[in-house]
Amino acid sequence: MVQIGYTLMSEQTPARELVDYAAAAERTGFDYAVISDHYFPWLEEMGHSPYCWSVLGAAAQVTERLPLMTYVTCPIMRYHPAVVAQKAATMGVLSKGRFTLGLGAGENLNEHVIGEGWPPVDTRHRMFAEAVQIIRELFSGEYITRQGEFYDVDSAKLYDLPERPVPIGIAASGGQSAELAAEFGDVLVVNEPMPAVVRQFKAAGGEGKPIYGQLPIAYDTDRDAAVRRAHELWRWSAVGGWKVMAELPGPVNFAAAAGTVRPEDVAESVPCGDDVSAVVEGVRKFADAGYTHVALVQIGHDQQQPFFDWAEKELLPALREL
């Protein structure tokens, strides 16, 4: 059975409400929760972007069983990998083993703030591979000293560690990243149904490991209102794929890139309204591609509580049938 998660959408939600939604997701019956790790929202209309690690610490205290995960953290610029390892280990302790560290190579949108420029994609991938190895080594609890191509670590040691090492999820979009995920990760993260990437991951040694995806939806009893809201807040997702999105430096650039995206374009990939079968079919595509986990993204902060009510009574029971 596919595990159904809830996305704590930090780009559209104030920090306090995100903590409340984590508790609500547990009460509603979601199997886990993920949270994005951004400095900026994709669009100005989204309006928020609190520090996800503070939210995670609070969420761990208002939940008891709900697994939590970053979706995903970039450990190559804004955060040094040694600092990411410490944050993740602390979350493992606070959550009593319910935390998974999702990692990815990042976006210019969030990483440019430190003023170091945005490296070319091949360089970013090498940086990412080195960062993941450092984090994995620090999770051992031993002293680590190394001089790498991109990062130096001087006698680093984590003193607060959970009983079991924090699982590492690695975001992938192609063969190279799928192989990296199989070698160094415990979990594969691929937002869209991509059977070829799943096959590459399994062939490289990832057989039997969890595979996470994410499905945006816009719940509303008024479908037209849902389509308008999805277009207002989610049109950035149709600007040309990850290779384009990873390079854009700010919300104004995402807005410009999405200038020709129409509401009906967004509705083609985002189930809008209160049609349970549309969401079930969206999740089925992931299940058929071999995914074990799918996190739903409810677009629109003002519809979160109605979404929870609908999910508990109608949506989650239907999804359990998959």
Catalytic residue positions? 38, 107
Residue 21 · residue 304 · CB < 8 Å: yes
Residue 35 · residue 71 · CB < 8 Å: yes
Per DSSP bridges, beta strands 144-147 and 152-156 are antiparallel
Residue 295 · residue 3 · CB < 8 Å: no
CA distances from 157 to 83, 96, 154, 189, 216 (A): 11, 20, 9, 28, 39
Residue 307 · residue 298 · CB < 8 Å: yes
Cα distance between residue 307 and residue 297, in whole Å: 10
